[in-house]
Structure 1
Amino acid sequence: MTDRLEVAVVRWPGGSRVVGEGLSALLAAYHLRTEAEKGEPVADVGGLPDRYRAEIADPGTAFDGDVVLVAVQGDAAVGCVVVTFLADGQSEIKRLWTDPGFRGRGVASALLGVALAHVAESGVNIVRLSVWEWRTPAIALYERLGFTVARSWDERDRLVCMQRAV
């Protein structure tokens, strides 16, 4: 593997079957890692809550109406992010995930750049996200992109809510 990583960000659905299968694998890894980090590890996807299993099994239905971006390198899906549009004219970024083998190479930054450009083109004024407080590298990335900590809209402990103007 070379040090230089060329990543294409594609909107899903679209691209090849590999992208769709890769998206499901990325979502599975995201949810399994998150449950483990919360101290509630599960052995496999079957142990995840129903709503997470539904995302993995059928992202097209789970994210219908949302914008799903997948970063690919060659024939591998290496990262993903979901952009939702809320009823109050805001947008939310969620499920940002980079395959651990590709971290530190700009995948998350590329995904967020495309996501923020899409939000700006959509006329939304505020974009928000939530992140677990122990994910300090993600928080640092969000801060570099202009996100600041906001009053929480989520009741879960240890969840940091952030937002920025578009």
Structure 2
Amino acid sequence: MTDQRKAVIVRWPGQDASVETGPAALLAAYHLRTEAEKGRAVAEVDGLPERYRAEVLDPATAFSDAVVLLALSEDTAVGCLVVTAPVGGRSELKRLWTDPALRGRGIASGLVRAALAHCAENGVSTVRLSVWKWRTAALALYERLGFTVTESWDERDQLVCMEHAV
């Protein structure tokens, strides 16, 4: 029998002090997988590019101006999403990651919906994101949630840029 408990979405750091590690392990998994998918596999966090390593080692500092949402199953972080501070009425979603063993349970969509609600409550008019074109499940999720492909603001090859009016 599989564990079917629902994940609860919270803002980190938040009132739940039992989630000491916050998003660090999730960010490590995200960056290690992304580097592997780009053909630059590294075995450990120490091998990540400095900016990504900094996010893993000190997410509170790396995302000090952002809102970090966590999906919790009991006191374990099983998903994360970063919402950047608004600039010119726009915020960006970054680092959406769900524990692979728990995918298909609505955790990622719950995180994105919570991010959109947060943006609406804070006067953001447009939410944008970028996703690698090979992440077809993520692209499908974003499209289901109302994001549309838009002209790229990023020069990296194979990156799809998307927006959602709030």
Matched residue pairs, number? Answer: 166
Correspondence 1:1-166 to 2 at 5 A: 2=2, 4-166=4-166
TM-score by length of 1: 0.95
- The code of the aligned residue for 1:57 comes to L
- In the alignment, structure 2 segments of 5+ residues that lack a partner are none
3-state SS of 2:19 partner: helix
Q: Could you say which structure has the higher helix fraction?
A: 1
- Quick check: 1:19–1:70 contact (8 Å CA) kept in 2? no
Instruction: Please state how far the C-alpha of 1:87 moved relative to its aligned partner.
Output: 2.3
Q: How large is the RMSD of aligned CA atoms in angstroms?
A: 1.3
Alignment partners' CA distance in 2, 1:20 and 1:42: 26
Instruction: Please state how far the C-alpha of 1:17 moved relative to its aligned partner.
Output: 5.0
- Quick check: 1:12–1:20 contact (8 Å CA) kept in 2? no
Instruction: Please state how far the C-alpha of 1:88 moved relative to its aligned partner.
Output: 2.0
- Segments of 4+ in structure 1 off by > 3 A? 15-18
Residue by residue over 1:13-39, the C-alpha shift from the partner in whole angstroms, topping out at 9 and shown as x without a partner, is: 124455241410000000000000011
- Quick check: 1:10–1:70 contact (8 Å CA) kept in 2? yes
Q: Which stretch has the larger CA shift, 81-90 or 104-113?
A: 81-90
TM-score by length of 2: 0.95
